Structure 1
């Protein structure tokens, strides 16, 4: 008997990601126990889940049944044999987001989602050609941020090994390691020559929310920076917003720059803190069936709201930004967002492994598909190189533009 777990959304590296539904306790009830080894059963389960749930019903124009028969002819005597067979099978889909996660990688993914990371603090993605490994955003306060790595930087080598053949999880695994050890990344950046950075790995606590009451032009405004949609984000945003309301904030700036996304449900719940009516997001599966997520009955505040976005604003961040912009609840300032509109579900597999599968795409409330396109802000302000100390200060032109836009929105209440 198969058991389906409650909806649980998990951060996937480079995705952002991202909606993840965890399905627990998979078995092989339809397969005779004597016919296959445990390793073959695992690969069969991977094939079955993809066959049932994958967004592209052509399977990248592959004969998926033939793929099944071919892999079952192989001798899979060890778990490593099974992992390699599963990975090779999924590579035929040419989808960097649909991937097999060996136990160590799967456990690391779950740990990261809970709010802790051991590594250099980079969210990464692969281009559609599945060759170029790019930075979505560095995590605030991480070794990667301190080294000046930026959204859309290309990681061409890890410890001298070219990254062209790495999957997302292989690249992430090579960048992880014991705290205090060093990893060397080869970086290509538009307008500069290839350079290397040495990053010292450390344990990174993902505290996603920073908030502060500020005074601008005699007005009290609430500044909130959200770094990631992890398991702590909703309650931390709720607490910050409640406190700022009690302190008398007249309007808000929500900073989503370099936020690579994370938990879809967190994005939906945070939207409900600002929206009391309207559609937040639509999801569309391979049958074209729409499912919508609606705003809650009562927002925490109706005060004016400005969002800061840039090329590192991705996935769940874009869901939140699209919902607030298209429901006329907020205006956006900054640069066009990353453009990640696919949804992955994560499935538990035997022996502690997992499987991420692209199962749907999402659309904004106005039915815009932003995948590869991103969301265009209401006011475009180019990103400037800033230190962490300059972020959201008088030296931050995007922040200053957001302040001016907020002051205009507050003018009726100021007269």
Structure 2
């Protein structure tokens, strides 16, 4: 894929008022389902919680304010491998800043990085060391929100990684770091694997394929330290509960994304429930995701009509020839920021089989969306990893 000639063009959000009026009318006309008494979260996001979210969305949330905040970031679109790719490009005031590609996941968007962008691009203004500055590239995954919808088959995470490699070359970055969680973790890890001569380091807040997916045997446990044995049991238990109670959304999106799309594209309340459930269940209740930021994320899916297009990445992975196989080996230096309320418990002895993990930091709070939940921890970990990498290659005496 060598289509480096597509010059990025500036992009600015400017949603027509009639689209916002249509949304408001749909929210007023919502047809509520019933609910079993005392069901809580057993069957999905509770009715009372969803009613309150819709009320807030309709009466208090301010899209125009959110739109203005996003438009403060320089944004662009370009065409890569036949797909429109949207991205924000935030250059640091520090001329020697490290280029860093940060990639969101599902059901996220580049909105996830609003609370970390300032400290990462301009640490001097946020009480940090200017040597820790980054030029940020924040793309929207093809098919997701402002990079969607895709118009052909095959946009699984490996193809996305190749497209993002082209994007960074197109922006003139010969070497750079990558960071991501969820799908962003799979994409970032793959970029480090296929572009080791360009990617200086891979920072992840989820390590694909590193958790237990089967009950560990005594033989497997016997070679581990007591702490790792206990963590392995915890990893299996979390995965067991996940497979039984929480992975239904992924199964639907991996098998029938088009059928789901009719509901999510027609009902903003349905879209909010589908996405809002994940932000609630996958985050640490001690540091919940900001409601306005979550709604801005939902708005991008609604306004672009890409709930179905984004879901297709699950289908594409599930039908790819590599599905079910262990991750291919990556030799690029990798860091993991391990947050306790994420969906899976990663294991170092499993990760060591396929990844060159040089930094592993476990935190006492935070979940699946650390850039939104615990931005200060994520910023500190990203800074620390790339600072260590710079020190590792620095000549003696410097």
TM-score range, shorter chain: under 0.3
TM-score (norm 2): 0.26
Tell me which structure has the larger Cα radius of gyration: 1
Going by fraction, where is helix more abundant, 1 or 2? 2
